[in-house]
Amino acid sequence: MSDLVVAAEKVTKIYPNGIKANVNVSVEVYRGEAVCLMGPNGAGKTTLVRQVIGVLKPTSGKITVLGSNPVEKQDVIRKEVSYTPQLPLVYPSHKVIEVAKFIADLSGTPYTRVHEVLQSLGLWGVRDKMGYQLSVGQRKLLLLALSLIKNSELLILDEPTSFIDIFKKRLVWDILAHEKSRGKTILLVSHDLEEVKRLCDRVYLMVYGRVVNHFSTLEKVEGGAEVRLMTKYADKVAQLLKRSVIAVNEGLVVARYRSLLDALVDLENLAFNGELRDDVKIYLEYPSIETLLESYIRGVQP
């Protein structure tokens, strides 16, 4: 059996009204790895996920999942793919344990796995609650639990930790890392850089329905930096920062760098300027998704 679990080749989706949901998208996911789709809202990430699980047919291009066309082979998708959607929608009139056992019965999973997963996600204590009684975060955890109970080869997770507090996020990250260590394959949609750094081997950056960059190592994702400098000499300070993209606005200089090293070189030059050094307050930040997008996608047109 091939190690290529998901292959999207030059996939395009154009709706009847002319809107292009994605354009010429190529993505590969290999067995045992975790691959992330990142990008702003409307970038086409969820569209690609829907194409991968076979509920949205591409206008052109080709998608295979475990060697099969997902539109034509829904039996393969139902058996070998677990999907956690973005929105925390659950079964409001059923108990947590009922829904969990139902999924276990469908997938042939022993009830010991139900207990194991619900316990690990902190849901065993609410197993007798109805879906409508759960908090938003608990509903999202239940969706993830159902995917894990199914015990499929491929996990497709659309923002799995949205609506979840930071303590539960870390718990989820540890659980997903364990699933990956068991040989599971993960296709993840996320805006959370910490999540991506913890879980993903490779990252596809999407905007306007296109893949605009592909990071084969996480160092490239982590490499950028943003420096904010507060000073009454904003224009003079900006002239000393040679290696960055600069924005100046009423006493604030925002400098964005492709690498942390470039930022440190500029700040060293600033430190040697006695006139400005003592007046400047400096704040160094790691990049947000917005900073990454501006750095790598500048100039891309819809």
Q: Determine the pLDDT at residue 99.
A: 97
- Of the candidates 290, 256, 287, which has an alpha carbon nearest to the alpha carbon of residue 43? 290
- Amino acid making up residue 199: L
Reported pTM: 0.77
Q: Determine the pLDDT at residue 217.
A: 59
Residue 45 host element (H or E): helix 45-52
- Amino acid making up residue 114: V
Q: Determine the pLDDT at residue 34.
A: 96
Pick the CATH number of 224-286 from 3.40.50.1000, 3.40.50.720, 3.40.50.11540, 3.30.70.260: 3.30.70.260
Residue with tokens 């999202």: 140
Query: 258 CB contacts (<8 Å, ≥6 apart)?
Result: 223, 224, 295
Please give the order of strands across the beta sheet that includes 60-65: 20-30, 4-14, 60-65
- SS3 sequence of 272-286: CCHHHHCCCEEEEEC
CA distance 7 to 190: 19
Q: pLDDT truncated to tens, each residue of the chain (302 aa)?
A: 469 999 999 999 999 999 899 999 999 999 999 999 988 778 899 999 999 999 999 999 999 999 999 999 999 999 999 999 988 888 899 999 999 999 999 999 999 999 999 999 999 999 999 999 999 999 999 999 999 999 999 999 999 998 888 889 999 999 999 999 999 999 999 988 788 888 999 999 888 888 988 887 555 555 567 788 888 888 888 888 877 767 787 788 888 777 767 777 777 777 766 655 566 777 766 655 556 656 666 656 66
- 8 A C-beta contact, residue 182 and residue 137: no
Query: 219 CB contacts (<8 Å, ≥6 apart)?
Result: none
- Amino acid making up residue 30: Y
Q: Determine the pLDDT at residue 220.
A: 54
For the chain, residues classed under CATH 3.30.70.260 are 224-286
Query: 173 CB contacts (<8 Å, ≥6 apart)?
Result: 161, 195, 198, 199
Query: 24 CB contacts (<8 Å, ≥6 apart)?
Result: 10, 11, 12, 61, 210
Q: Token pair for residue 83? A: 């999907």
For the chain, residues classed under CATH 3.40.50.300 are 4-221
Written as one string, the DSSP assignment of 141-210 is HHHHHHHHHHT-SEEEEESTTTT--HHHHHHHHHHHHHHHHTT-EEEEE-S-HHHHHHH-SEEEEEETTE
Contacts of 48-55 with CB under 8 Å at 24 or more apart are 48/8, 48/11, 48/22, 48/206, 49/83, 49/156, 49/158, 49/187, 49/189, 51/8, 51/11, 51/13, 51/22, 52/6, 52/8, 52/156, 52/187, 53/77, 53/81, 53/83, 53/156
CA distance 162 to 192: 9
Any idea what DSSP says for residue 241? Answer: -
φ, ψ dihedrals at 11, nearest 5°: -85, 130
Q: Token pair for residue 116? A: 């194991």
Pick the CATH number of 4-221 from 3.30.70.100, 3.65.10.10, 3.40.50.300, 3.30.9.10: 3.40.50.300
Beta-ladder partners of 215: 203
